[in-house]
Structure 1
Amino acid sequence: MDEIDPLSAEWSDGEVAVMHGLRDWAVTFDELTRHLSSWMRLPGSDANALGQIVWAEQAGEPLSPARLSRRIGMTSGATTVLIDRLEAAGHVGRHRESSDRRRVTLRPTDGARAESGRFLAFSGAEIAGALKATTAEEARVVLDFLSRMTAAATAANVRLEQHARADPGARDEPHDATTR
């Protein structure tokens, strides 16, 4: 893919509308997470983590603490403290399911699973309706687009992390030889 300068590129009305739509979804999803936080009587970061743990288990891919840390954007130490809080509150458990017993996975408790299910049943009707109204072709196109957007954002995040490691005192902005 060609390098595009996002500041000087000309954007069509449709491209701008897509970016606004993605932003609106992200903001609205964040609001849903805040409602889950209130529903479960948890801090926002804990509710976000619990949601990730529940969804991963439902997908048949329970998270390790390290994978949870990457998904929620916290350090491993902060994630450990968060998991400890969720465990003490009776929402998650650490399980050793692999044959060598070294790999830890996170599973929601029956109570957390049931309560998050009640939340979804109460809050998810409109989203379920929108998904059910989506044709298979629309879903394929959206998934392809979201996969490309996720890959692009992931590449940008990797570049920003590498830049921060190379120059820890620098702000997260690019530098070239003429601006140093």
Structure 2
Amino acid sequence: MHDNALELVHLLRAVTVEFGLRQAEFAAANGMHPTDVRALICLLDAARAAEPATAGLLGTRLGLNSAGTTAVIDRLERLGHVERLRDPHDRRRVLLSVTPEAIHLGQTFFGPAIETLTEALAGLTREEREAVRGFLTTAQVAFGG
């Protein structure tokens, strides 16, 4: 492997470690477990992808059994970060939704970093952004995502 390529892999690792530390800080500051933050991210990702966010989907994405998934949802609901809503197309199914308050909380904490990153990406050409996307997609797949 080329030294430069390995340097980028190490940089990606450093970024993921820092992001994990910020997630843990956010969780601790807001009375949450780190898994709760991962759950919120999963639910927000599902909303962006227009996927129905169910307990089953959340459990699968978090690698939790049914009891563990219910515990996470109960905690997040108790904290006011998640709502359980009846699916308007199938009244038997319950959908999960991140509350506007939780979104605001996350934007307040993570917003400055996200803004810095989006500004950096805005300065790249389309081809450069595609190269970054390709690398990050490969990294996600390499780690099982």
- TM-score interval w.r.t. the shorter chain? 0.7 to 0.9
- Tell me whether 1:88 sits opposite 2:82 in the alignment: no
User: Which structure 2 segments of 5+ residues have no match?
Assistant: none
Q: Tell me the equivalent position of 1:30.
A: 20
Q: SS in structure 1 opposite 2:97?
A: strand
- CA separation in 2, counterparts of 1:93 and 1:62? 13
* CA RMSD between the two structures: 2.4
Aligned residues: 145
TM-score for both structures, normalised by structure 2:
0.80
Q: Which moved more, 1:24-33 or 1:71-80?
A: 71-80
Report sequence identity in percent: 32
- CA separation in 2, counterparts of 1:93 and 1:138? 39
Residue 141 of structure 1: how far off its partner (Å)? 1.4
Q: SS in structure 2 opposite 1:124?
A: helix
Letter of the structure 2 residue corresponding to residue 142 of structure 1: V
Q: Check 1:40–1:52 CA distance in 2 against 1; reply closer, same or farther (3 A cut).
A: farther
TM-score for both structures, normalised by structure 1:
0.67
Match among 49, 55, 58 for residue 68 of structure 1: 58
- Tell me whether 1:144 sits opposite 2:141 in the alignment: no
Q: Tell me the equivalent position of 1:54.
A: 44
Query: Residue deviations 1:75-115, cap 9 Å, x none?
Result: 33211111111112211012222522233321012322222
Match among 106, 111, 116 for residue 96 of structure 2: 106
Partners of 1:91 and 1:111 within 8 A in 2: yes
Q: Which structure has the larger Rg?
A: 1
Q: Check 1:105–1:131 CA distance in 2 against 1; reply closer, same or farther (3 A cut).
A: farther
Greater helix share, structure number: 2
Partners of 1:62 and 1:107 within 8 A in 2: no
- CA separation in 1, counterparts of 2:102 and 2:9? 34
User: Which structure 1 segments of 5+ residues have no match?
Assistant: 1-10, 158-180
Partners of 1:40 and 1:47 within 8 A in 2: no
Q: Tell me the equivalent position of 2:87.
A: 97
